[in-house]
Amino acid sequence: MRDTSQHLLFNLQQFWAEGSLEKNNALVEYLKQYGVVRTDKVAEVMETIDRALFVPEGFTPYTDSPMPIGYNATISAPHMHATCLELLKDYLQPGMHALDVGSGSGYLTACFAMMVGPEGRAVGIEHIPELVVASTENVERSAAAALMKDGSLSFHVSDGRLGWPDAAPYDAIHVGAAAPEIPRPLLEQLKPGGRMVIPVGTYSQDLQVIDKSADGSTSVRNDASVRYVPLTSRSAQLQDS
């Protein structure tokens, strides 16, 4: 969770305790009020893709907190989804290509697909086959279902550290788990002029923003301190399940 989110989380928890926050668009409105959602483009896609369709039964979908989805994986907190969408929104224009590494529930991949549209490509890769099945079922119930049917949105079982060369290069790459260092294949699959958002570190993690220039050189900046599950092998992720 971002260090700056503590005040936001406290205030939203007060609101939830009153039983008032019941709908997806109400959560988005509160994220807007606290400055996490800053643009209409991000607000629109988060209102269109209902988070409740991607959170397992028995959990509160509109709580601003990560939720377990099984197999030692989580769906990130809404404020982190909003943060990453804001960082990547200019690289998710219609017709662009986006890669979601560690796609988990499929929520953010679905958001990417809605933003790049049917003429673009949104690819989610996840090394747990059961999560690929679940994410596919989640999307089939969502506003992004038609995009999966026409092939512009797809999920694949693969080691996220290797990317997905078939649809490369990507204008936008998002990594939903923390890597000890930026995986070289992901840098290679990032399009010149594109952007990657990835948490980097082990115990201490930073959400890094990597921009690749036209000549292939990259610049890196830290956006926030975060806490993500590790980007690792399937066997390592499952060992404590």
Q: What is the pLDDT of residues 79-128, one digit of tens each?
A: 999 999 999 999 999 999 999 999 999 999 999 999 999 999 999 999 99
Question: What order of strands is seen across the sheet that includes strand 218-226?
Answer: 153-157, 121-126, 97-101, 170-175, 190-201, 205-212, 218-226
Q: Mapping DSSP to helix (H, G, I), strand (E, B) and coil, where does residue 74 land?
A: strand
Task: Give the global pTM.
Answer: 0.87
d(CA 47, CA 111): 10
* Residues with catalytic roles: 76
d(CA 52, CA 226): 23
Q: What is the pLDDT of residues 61-88, one digit of tens each?
A: 888 899 999 998 899 999 999 999 999 9
Q: Is the pLDDT of residue 235 over 90?
A: no
CA 109 from centre of chain = 7
- The whole-number average pLDDT for the span 140-145 is 96
The pLDDT assigned to 57 comes to: 87
Domain span at 18: 4-240
CATH of the domain at 164: 3.40.50.150
Domain total in the chain: 1
Q: What is the pLDDT of residues 203-227, one digit of tens each?
A: 889 999 999 999 999 999 998 888 8
**How many DSSP H helices and E strands does the chain contain?**
9, 9
d(CA 176, CA 162): 14
CA-to-CA separations, 207 to 17, 109, 149, 200, in angstroms, rounded: 30, 18, 33, 6
Alpha helices in 2-152 (DSSP H): 6-17, 24-33, 40-48, 78-88, 107-116, 129-140, 145-149
